[in-house]
């Protein structure tokens, strides 16, 4: 579903500012549609702000927007530990049920917690430890672990980035652990244009599907 997502550029220098527009063609089973993603990451003297907006184009008839989804995250630097920050995040969206006239909410979600960069030497994992309030979950509160990465290589001609979310939820009396990860690989043709691929890997994420799902894409990205 994401896009994109995703994604975050937290290991860039604090003065960096990045925004991009992506267009993906999804080759997943029973998918075969385009998804657009717009992302922005902007640091400032107090922390940083990140958001993205995903749209799927799969509505019956003219293949107009069938899903609209967005997330925004605000990070505020904390003085006690170098690299530690507090974060508040909000997610929301709407999904069209194909073959019907129904649009259903995806449920607005609030998250709050702490973020810390975990340096593994070859990669830095920017990791969020979050309390999650999902209004579709039967629990009063759930937990979520989010990690993002950004790895340039071959003198910056290629980059490997992405995210992984793991969270708990309870629906129809059943407790579940949901996994969603979207690694991306990009080849930078110019300073602005890149081509690449994303693989959406999920478990318990797609409604009605409890098995592991793998959905690859081909994509282009414009940095501006």
Written as six digits, the tokens of 172 are 């129809």
The string of pLDDT tens digits covering residues 31-84 is 899 999 999 999 999 999 999 999 999 998 788 999 999 999 999 999 989 999
Indicate whether 5 pLDDT > 50: no
d(C-alpha 114, C-alpha 177), whole Å: 20
Written as six digits, the tokens of 18 are 């990045």
> What pLDDT score does 41 carry?
95
- Higher-confidence residue of 7 and 215: namely 215
**Predicted structure pTM score:** 0.87
How far from chain centre, in Å, is Cα 133? 17
The string of pLDDT tens digits covering residues 8-33 is 333 333 335 689 999 999 998 888 99
% of the chain surpassing 70 pLDDT: 91
Indicate whether 199 pLDDT > 70: yes
Domains, the chain, with CATH or none:
18-223 (2.40.160.40)
> What pLDDT score does 14 carry?
35
Residue 203 is inside which H or E element, if any? strand 193-203
Sequence-distant (≥ 6) Cβ neighbours of residue 177 within 8 angstroms: 166, 167, 168, 204
Written as six digits, the tokens of 11 are 């290991």
Are residues 187 and 171 in contact, defined by beta-carbon separation less than 8 angstroms?
no
Indicate whether 2 pLDDT > 90: no
> What pLDDT score does 136 carry?
86
Q: Is 217 left (phi over 0), alpha (psi -120 to 50) or beta?
A: beta
Written as six digits, the tokens of 70 are 């967005």
Q: What is the CA radius of gyration of the chain?
A: 17
Average pLDDT of the residues of the chain: 89
The string of pLDDT tens digits covering residues 200-216 is 999 988 766 677 899 99
d(C-alpha 134, C-alpha 109), whole Å: 5
Q: Which of 171, 107, 167 is nearest to 138 (CA)?
A: 171
The string of pLDDT tens digits covering residues 78-132 is 998 999 999 999 999 999 987 888 888 887 999 999 999 999 998 999 999 999 9
User: What are the beta bridge partners of residue 200?
Assistant: 215
Are residues 199 and 218 in contact, defined by beta-carbon separation less than 8 angstroms?
no
Indicate whether 3 pLDDT > 90: no
Indicate whether 220 pLDDT > 70: yes
């Amino acid at each position: 579903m994401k896009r994109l997502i995703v994604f975050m550029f937290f290991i860039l220098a604090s003065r960096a500012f990045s925004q991009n527009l992506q267009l993906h063609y999804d080759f997943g089973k029973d998918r075969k549609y385009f998804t657009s993603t717009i992302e922005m990451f902007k640091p400032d003297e107090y922390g940083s702000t990140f958001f993205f907006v995903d749209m799927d184009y799969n509505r019956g008839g003219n293949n107009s927007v069938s899903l609209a989804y967005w997330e925004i995250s605000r990070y505020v630097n904390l003085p006690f530990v170098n690299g530690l920050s507090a974060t508040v995040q909000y997610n929301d969206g709407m999904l069209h049920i194909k073959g019907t006239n129904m649009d259903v909410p995806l449920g607005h979600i609030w998250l709050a917690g702490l973020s810390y960069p975990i340096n593994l030497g070859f990669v830095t994992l920017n990791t969020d430890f979050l309390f999650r309030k999902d209004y579709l979950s039967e629990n009063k509160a759930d937990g979520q672990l989010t990690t993002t990465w950004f790895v340039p290589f071959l003198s910056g001609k290629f980059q490997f980035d992405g995210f992984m979310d793991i969270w708990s939820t309870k629906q129809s009396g059943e407790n579940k652990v949901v996994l969603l990860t979207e690694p991306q690989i990009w080849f930078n043709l110019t300073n602005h244009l890149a081509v690449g691929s994303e693989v959406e890997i999920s478990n318990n994420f797609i409604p009605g599907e409890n098995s592991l799902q793998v959905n690859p894409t081909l994509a282009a990205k414009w940095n501006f």
